[in-house]
A and B are shown apart, each in its own frame.
Chain A
Amino acid sequence: MTSLRTYLAAVCLGIASFMSNTVAAQTQFEVTIKQFDVESVRGYVQPIGDMFGANMNAGLYHSAKIPANGFHIRVDLVGAATIIGDEQRAYNAKLPAGFVPETGSYKTATVFGGKGTTFRDVNSGLEYKGSDGIFNTRVFPLLMPQLSIGSFFGTEISLRYMSTPTLGSGKFPSTTLFGLGLRHSVSQHLNLPFDVGVGAYYSSFSAGSLIESEGGAVNVQLSKEFSFVTLYGGVALESSTTKIQYETSISNVETQVSTSLMGANRFRVTSGVELDVQAFRLFADANFGRVKHFSGGIAFGF
C-alpha cells in the first residue's frame, strides 16, 4: 500500500508540475498566435511543432529487456527536454508586397525568439514589424506518466495519458496527452549477449481547440545490464504533425486559420543509462536527430 501511495503521489506531482509549466504558457501563446494569418503563423510556431514532436516520442524505453512471460507492471514518470537552437529562434517572415529590397521576407523572432525585427522600406521609410518571441528558454520540457504492462510472450504494452482541465475561468485551455505503444523482445528468440527489442508507438497531444499534435515512432532497442547499471540505446524512425486551428478577427472579419506543421525529427539515435536503486530506477538518455533532446525520469515497478 505504501508503494501504491508513492506511485499516486508521484503521478499527481507530475500532473501538477505539467500544469504549472504549460497552462500559463498556453495563454501567452494562444493570444499571440491568433494575431497571425495563415502565412505567418507557420514560421512563428514551427519550433513548437518540432519540440512537441520530439518530446512526444521521448522516453519510450529505458531497457530492451522484456521477460518472456510473467505479469509485471511499471509506472514511469518521464521528463523530456528538447534543446532549442538558434535556428529555432528566428524565421523568414513574409513581407507585404512592395517592400524594398524585395527579398519577400525578413528574419524575425519565432515564439522562442527575442525582440521582433523591424523592417524598413528603403524607398519610403515605411516600417513593418514582427511580434516578439514569448518564451525565453533554452529547453522545451514535457512531463509524461507512462504505464507499462507485460509480459505476453515477451510483449509489453505501454500507455501514456494525462489531462489537465480548463483553468482560470476559461482562460486556459484543457490539455490532453495520450500515448499507446507495443514492444516485443527479439532477444528471447536469439542467443545474444544483450537484449534487443522492437517497438511501435503512437502519441497525441491537444491544447484546447488550438493545437493538436500526433506522432508515431518505430524503433529498435538495445540494452545491456551490468549489475545495477543498464546501458541502453537504439534507433528510431518517427514523424509528427502539429495542427493549429483558430479563428482570428481583423476589422471585424472572422477568418478561420488552419495549418499543419511537420515535426523536424524523422530519425533519432538514443543513448542512455538506467540505474537500479532497488525501490525504483532512474534513467536518462540523450537523443540525436534534427532536434536534439534529453529525457529522463523515474520508474517504479513490480
Chain B
Amino acid sequence: MKPTIVTAFAVLALLSSIGASCVNDDVLVVLNLGPIVGKYRVPPGENTTFAGSITIRLDSLIPPGYASTLKQARVYDIRVRVEGAYDGRVSGESHVKVGSGTRTSLIKFPASGSAPWSSFSTPQSLLGSSPLLAPDPSGISQLLQAFSTTPLPTITLFADGHLDVAPVPGNLYVIVEVYLQADATLN
C-alpha cells in the first residue's frame, strides 16, 4: 500500500502545485477615488461675489487597508458646472490647500475675463479640452503630493468668483469636481 500513498501524494502535489505561488510581484491596485465635490452657493441679492470651501479627510476617500500602501495618485479630470438659472456672466477660481499649507490655484473658470453662466450648465471638463477651464499644474501637483504624506492630511477645496449683474437670483450653485485615481500595492 505504500506505493499507493506515495503515488497519491505525488499526483496531488503535482496538481496542487500547478498555478500555486504564481501571484504577480508588486501588484498595483488602482483605486477610483473621486470625485471630490465642492458645491458652492452663490448668495442671492445685490452682492455678486461668492466664496466657499469644503474640507475632507483624504483617508475618507481611501478604502480600508490601503492608506499605508499608496504609491501615487493622478487627477484624470476636473469638471466645473453650475446649477440654477441666471442670465449674466460668471468668473471664478478654485484653490486647494493641503492640511494647514498654503492655498494654491487649482483651476480658473474661465482662463480670463468671464463667460456666460449658461455655458457651465453643461459640465465643462478638462478631458473635453474646454476653453472655459484653465488648470494650474501647481495646484494639481500639491493635491497629488498629499497622497504621499503620512498620515494622510485633510484637503480643502475653495472656490470664489463673481457674477456680473445684480440682483443675483436664489438657488445658484457653482460645482467643482475633481476626479482621482490612486495606485496602491496589495497588502
Point out residues on A near B: beta carbons under 8 Å.
2-3, 6, 9-10, 13-14, 17-18, 20-21, 24-25, 28, 31-32, 34-35, 37, 77, 79, 81, 96-100, 114-116, 121, 123-124, 126-141, 143, 248-252, 279-280, 282, 296-298
Interface residue from A6, A25, A128 paired with B4 (Cβ < 8 Å):
A6
Tell me if B28 and A250 are in contact (CB < 8 A).
no
| Whole-angstrom distance between the Cβ of A74 and the nearest chain B Cβ | 15
Chain B residue with Cβ nearest A300:
B4
The winner among B60, B77, B179 for most chain A CB atoms within 10 A is B77
Interface residue from A124, A139, A143, A297 paired with B127 (Cβ < 8 Å):
A124
Tell me if B60 and A143 are in contact (CB < 8 A).
no
Residues of A contacting B31 with CB < 8 Å? 35
Point out residues on B near A: beta carbons under 8 Å.
1, 3-5, 7-9, 11-16, 18-20, 22-24, 26-36, 60-61, 63-65, 74-77, 125-129, 179, 181, 183, 186-187
- C-alpha gap A148/B14 in the complex (Å): 24
| Whole-angstrom distance between the Cβ of A42 and the nearest chain B Cβ | 15
Count CB-based A-B contacts (< 8 Å): 160
Residues of A contacting B32 with CB < 8 Å? 35, 37, 250
| Whole-angstrom distance between the Cβ of A259 and the nearest chain B Cβ | 17
Residues of A contacting B61 with CB < 8 Å? 250-251
- C-alpha gap A28/B28 in the complex (Å): 11
Tell me if A298 and B23 are in contact (CB < 8 A).
no
| Whole-angstrom distance between the Cβ of A252 and the nearest chain B Cβ | 5
Chain A residue with Cβ nearest B135:
A124
Residues of B contacting A136 with CB < 8 Å? 22-24
Tell me if B15 and A135 are in contact (CB < 8 A).
no
- C-alpha gap A137/B22 in the complex (Å): 6
- C-alpha gap A28/B3 in the complex (Å): 37
Interface residue from B30, B34, B75, B129 paired with A35 (Cβ < 8 Å):
B30
Residues of B contacting A115 with CB < 8 Å? 28
Interface residue from B7, B9, B74, B76 paired with A96 (Cβ < 8 Å):
B76
| Whole-angstrom distance between the Cβ of B55 and the nearest chain A Cβ | 14
Residues of B contacting A34 with CB < 8 Å? 63
Tell me if B29 and A98 are in contact (CB < 8 A).
no
Tell me if A127 and B76 are in contact (CB < 8 A).
yes
Given the interface contacts A97-B127, A98-B127, A129-B30, does A280 sit within 8 Å of B7 by beta carbon? yes
Interface residue from A126, A248, A279 paired with B76 (Cβ < 8 Å):
A126
